[in-house]
Every structure is written in structure tokens, then in C-alpha cells.
Structure 1
Amino acid sequence: MPFKHNAARCHRMDNMKFKVANWTEYEAGLRRRGSLTLWMTAEALSSWQAAKRTTHGGQPRYSDLAIETVLTVGLVFGLRLRQTEGLLLSVLELMGLDLAVPDHTTLSRRARTWQSPEGRLGRRILGEGPVHVLIDSTGLQVYGAGQWLEEKQGARSRRGWRKLHLALDADSGEIVAHVMTDQDTGDASQVEPLLDQIELPIGQFTADGAYDGKPTYDAVTKHSADAAVIIPPRANAVERPDTKPASSRDRHFAAIHTDGWMKWQAATGYGKRSLVETAIGRYKAINGRRLRARSFGAQQTEVAIGCTVLNRMLACARPKSVCRIGTTS
């Protein structure tokens, strides 16, 4: 839980320490993340060739699953398209499989129009009960030297960056929805597109103050009427006492002013919002802070595969941390 509102008293607070209780299982899962067999499944190899077309037009040689497999391997191991092509050629040769590998031009072209066959990331959520959804966004740099030219040479660059919006399941830690937009798109405007990707009902929706506003509350209510919305009001928020009955936003406003920020966080479970920030840090640590693809369609494919990679890695190994309070020195 953040203590930025009690900075003057931080030296009196105990440090939170965590210990991994399932270290043996977790370590084995971490090693499995680097296994090629995890990313080249038997299903991908058996469905490598594209199905015959029944309409007019050229016959594709590789299935969407084959393109996804090759792009996934390249993303996981940090390879460019040509290096990924060479890696897959050598792996299939060692496996004794007579399968052609998509060349880098085919990968670049198919990545612009690739569509996930399953369509939704939330397929891994277990159970049928309401889920606790956490939402946040982050920026991803666009491939190129635009920022360097602007900072070092003073040149005006037209290169920008993309904004990645994520929805996380607080219980499983998996990404259940994602949207990529340009840098000028507001965070609150993407709440409804994110919620449209979630099929299960929402029990609690948690986000930071950037999402505070009527459009967010309306989008959550439209998806799940009984969902609890946990969003801290903005610093310049004003209570509306004439509203009957009082809205959840007004109740949050009154609780913060009456009991204080820290007590409100503990009572509402707002501290779980840090899990989505951890997922964002995990995405950038594994997939990188910069998008490799250059076209917008290929960048959307890269982000979709990157989110799937994180979910698959989380399924391989997830630590069970036990919190221990230690004394400060």
C-alpha cells in the first residue's frame, strides 16, 4: 500500500518483506518459460498449413496459427523477423519435420491483418462468479530514432508513441482485455471497449483517479449493474449533497474526507490496483518498452501476442508470496 500521503512519518513504518513459499515449483516454471516446446505446441505443428479456401482469391500457404507461433517465438526470445525465420528453420530441421517456415516478408505482411482465432483473452478465467477488474494504461514507444533526434538535435519529429490499455483479473493476475490506441486517446474513453471483451460479470472495478467521471461509472453500470466502482475522486472533486440517493462517487468522497485516505484504501481494497501496475512492468520487462512493428495493424498484433505471452508465462509459474513485516533499521 503506498505511503506517499504519509511521507513525513515513513521512517516510523515497518518495511513489508515477502517470501516465496513455493520456490521449487516456481523455479521449475521459470525454466519452462524458456522451453521451445512451450511455444511450439503439437497443435501448432499439426495445423501449420492453411485450410483450403472456398472463395475466389489466392490460396494462403500458412495458417494464422502458424503465423502466431512464429511471431510468438520471436517476441519471447527478442528476435527480429529474419532471425526468427532462421531459428524456426533450424528447430524444424532438428525435429525432422518437413515444414516450410514463413519468410520475414510474409510475417510482416500477415501481421498487419492477423486476427486471434479465440478472440478473447479472458478465456482462462476459472469459475462463473463475478471478477475483480483492474484497469490502467501505459505508453509504448514507436520504433525509430524520433525521440533521440528531438532531444539531442532539436529536430521536430513526427514519431509519437502508442497507449496500451489493460484490464487485469485481480484474483488470477491474468490480462483479460486490452486495447491499443494512439497517444492522444483518453483513458476513460477506453473503459467500455475493454469491458466489452469481458464475458463474465464484474463484481468490483478498480482504477486510479484518471478514470474518475460519469462516463466510467456509466460504462461499468452498463456492463454489470451491481458492480462496485472503486475510483478515488480527483483532487478538485466537489461533493453533491443534493443527489438522492448518494452515488458511490459521493460516498468515496465523504469517506476520504471523514476517515482519511489510508483508511479508505484499506476499507475498499484499493491497494490491489498496484497489481495492474505490476503487470505493466512485467509486460515491458519481457516484451520491451518499444514496439518493433511499424504499421498500426502490425503493432496491434504485437500487443495482442505480447499479452497472450504474459498469460502463458503466468500459467507456467506464479509465486505464492507470504508477507512478513520487518522492522526498519
Structure 2
Amino acid sequence: MPFKHNACRRHRIGKMKFKVTNWREYDTGLRRRGSLTLWVTPEALSSWQAPKRTTRGGQPRYSDLAIETALTLGLVFDLRLRQTEGFVTSVLKLIGLDLVVPDHTTLSRRANKPRAPNKRHSDRFPQKGPVHVLIDSTGLQVYGAGQWLEEKHGVKSRRGWRKLHLVLDADSGDIIAHVMTEQGAGDASQVEPLLDQIDMPIGQFTADGAYDGDPTYDTITNHSPDAAVIIPPRANAVERKDADLPSQRAHHIAAINADGRMKWQAATSYGKRSLVETAIGRYKSIIGRRLRARAFAAQQTEVALGCSVLNRMLACARPKSVRCKIVAV
């Protein structure tokens, strides 16, 4: 990244300034994020109760929609399960709806139910062309005092952390795919599960050096043969002379050896990868750096709802900023 090359003279480089062109709409959308105005559609009312079961087993009382609604409200307002039950009960009472609210025990049990990831379909999300995806991962702390015990008393904690892998649409800023794994999972190993959630063709795939390697290129090519893969090769990477046709990775190595890494980043628009890092910072500042659920399945549900909440908030308020020109005196 440019800031690494300019670290020794960063204090002499002026900070870039941006101007929001749609400030009035953006300001209104930011206020809408904190509004307590809720409405329930007739479709949601009819789907609150679980459909009649046709197979063997007990009849569930609440539908997945009711469970997800309660869990989402608790996640947005930072409430635990008992407080979520009371909050949803009071909200429905104020609206005047006679609906039975799931209790905290039901919410905890149903949160562990595995759910298939929502695929990003081109018919539901129309695009002008192939989508430009950005991918990155981050760590999320597991609920508990393990880190505090280790720092305070030097006790070896068994508590680890989870790894959240995100795929961002560079044009809209929406999170279009996500996977949560254990802390030992490699970044490149999750490219295929992430791309399986995207049914649209990929025009450009941008990631950092942790995804460098032939398995990543092969996975992207199998999904979208015409996709441009922008991944910086390792510093000691060399071109393969025995290949019949030079690969995209070979072109990147040749361009970096000829013009340098900085010019390669500018030519390939590698700087857009900072958008996915911004999305990760948005997740940790709004949803939180620590997972509340303790079971792995419930943590996956929590992460899925968190990504959905961020997309809804971004739909309410989306700034349009342009870089201000610096006039020399």
C-alpha cells in the first residue's frame, strides 16, 4: 500500500480532503438509522406463525421470520435475549399488534439452527455488468474473560477467536457474501465457499497478498473465466518460463519488475481494496468486535444478521464523496 512506502515522510504528505455532494440526503439518512419507527407488513403478519409441519416431529410455534426479527432488533439495539424479548413485546404492544413474542429460551435454541447463506442473484440485484468484488478477513473475539485472565494473571486461556471472511461489492458497498470459520482457517481456502454465494459474473476480483497462489486463480477462473484477478504477488515471486501461455499472475510479476509496485497498484486500481477494510471497520464499530453467542452455529447466525443490518443501514444513508482539488498558492 502507498502509506507503507511513504512511512518515513508521512508527516510531509498532506491529507486528502473529500467533500460529500449529497449531504442533505445523507444527513437525513443518518437520522433515519436511529429512528424507532417500525412497521410490519401484512406478509410479515401472516408469516409470523410457523407453517404447519408435514413431516414427523413437533410443530414449531414461530416462523424463522419471527426469530430473525427478534434477533435483529436485539443486535441493533445491543440487547441480550431476555431484554430482546421484553423490547419486542413492548414494541408490538405499542403498535397494537396481538402477536406472541418468542421467549429468550426459544431465541437461544432457534439461533443454533443452521441456515443456508443467501445467494446474491442478478435478478434481485440488477447490475450494469459484471460485479467488482473485494475480499478480506478479520478476527472476532469470543465472548468471555479469557483475554483479561491472560493479561492479568498470566493464565493460559483456552478461548480463541473466530475469523470472518467478507466479500464486498466495490460499486454499492454491500456485503454480498460472508463466511465465519475457526481461527486456523486460511484465507485462500475460503474463496470457493464465498464465490458459491454469488450467482453473478465477476468482472474483477481484488484481494491482498494472503490470497496469492494458483488455487485462488483457479477457483476464480472456474466461477468467472473472464474475471480480472488483482492480487499482489509475493516479494520473492518469479515468472515461470515453462508455461505455454503467461497467466495473470505472471503479468503482475512482470509489471511489478518493470515499473515497480506503486505503478502497478495505480494501473490496476488496487487501492479500491481499502473499501473492504472500511466495511470491516464499520462492522466492528456498529455490530461489535466480540461475538455474543457462545455456540458456533449461533455465532454464524449472529454474523449473518450483522451483515444484513449493515446493508440495510447503508441503504438508508449512502454518502457520495468526491476528492477536493488542492490549489497551489
TM-score where L is the length of structure 2: 0.94
Q: Using the alignment, how far apart are the partners of 1:301 and 1:122 within structure 2?
A: 21
Q: Does 1:302 align with 2:302?
A: yes
Would you say the 8 A contact 1:14–1:327 is kept in 2? no
**Cα displacement string for residues 130-163 of structure 1 (whole angstroms, at most 9, x for unaligned residues):** 1111100000000001111112111111110000
Q: Does 1:119 align with 2:118?
A: yes
Q: Does 1:88 align with 2:107?
A: no
Distance 1:42 1:270, change over 3 A: farther
What residue is the counterpart of 1:64 in the other structure? 64
Q: Using the alignment, how far apart are the partners of 2:39 and 2:194 within structure 1?
A: 27
Q: CA deviation at 1:8?
A: 3.5
Would you say the 8 A contact 1:209–1:234 is kept in 2? yes
What residue is the counterpart of 1:280 in the other structure? 280
Q: CA deviation at 1:325?
A: 4.0
Q: Using the alignment, how far apart are the partners of 2:43 and 2:242 within structure 1?
A: 60
Q: More deviation in 256-265 or 278-287?
A: 256-265
Q: Using the alignment, how far apart are the partners of 1:220 and 1:294 within structure 2?
A: 34
Distance 1:10 1:154, change over 3 A: closer
Would you say the 8 A contact 1:121–1:175 is kept in 2? no
Would you say the 8 A contact 1:32–1:38 is kept in 2? no
Distance 1:326 1:145, change over 3 A: farther
Distance 1:137 1:41, change over 3 A: farther
Would you say the 8 A contact 1:125–1:172 is kept in 2? no
The sequence identity of aligned pairs, in percent, is: 76
What residue is the counterpart of 1:313 in the other structure? 313
Distance 1:41 1:316, change over 3 A: farther
Q: CA deviation at 1:39?
A: 7.8
Q: Using the alignment, how far apart are the partners of 2:327 and 2:297 within structure 1?
A: 51
What residue is the counterpart of 2:233 in the other structure? 233
**Cα displacement string for residues 173-212 of structure 1 (whole angstroms, at most 9, x for unaligned residues):** 1011000000000000000100010000001000000000
Write out aligned runs for 1:216-231 (5 A): 216-231=216-231
Would you say the 8 A contact 1:167–1:175 is kept in 2? yes
SS in 2 for 1:15: coil
Unaligned runs of 5+ in 2: none
Q: CA deviation at 1:290?
A: 0.2
2:104 maps to a residue whose letter is H
Q: More deviation in 94-103 or 180-189?
A: 94-103
Would you say the 8 A contact 1:39–1:72 is kept in 2? no
TM-score where L is the length of structure 1: 0.94
SS in 2 for 1:16: coil
What residue is the counterpart of 2:205 in the other structure? 205
Q: Using the alignment, how far apart are the partners of 1:235 and 1:122 within structure 2?
A: 37
What residue is the counterpart of 2:27 in the other structure? 27
What residue is the counterpart of 1:3 in the other structure? 3
Q: Does 1:146 align with 2:141?
A: no
- Provide the aligned C-alpha RMSD in A: 2.0
What residue is the counterpart of 2:172 in the other structure? 172
Q: Using the alignment, how far apart are the partners of 1:9 and 1:3 within structure 2?
A: 10
Distance 1:266 1:125, change over 3 A: farther
Q: Using the alignment, how far apart are the partners of 2:38 and 2:223 within structure 1?
A: 35
Unaligned runs of 5+ in 1: none
> How many residues of Structure 1 are paired with residues of Structure 2 in the alignment?
328
Write out aligned runs for 1:26-45 (5 A): 26-37=26-37, 43-45=43-45
Distance 1:92 1:233, change over 3 A: same
Distance 1:279 1:39, change over 3 A: farther
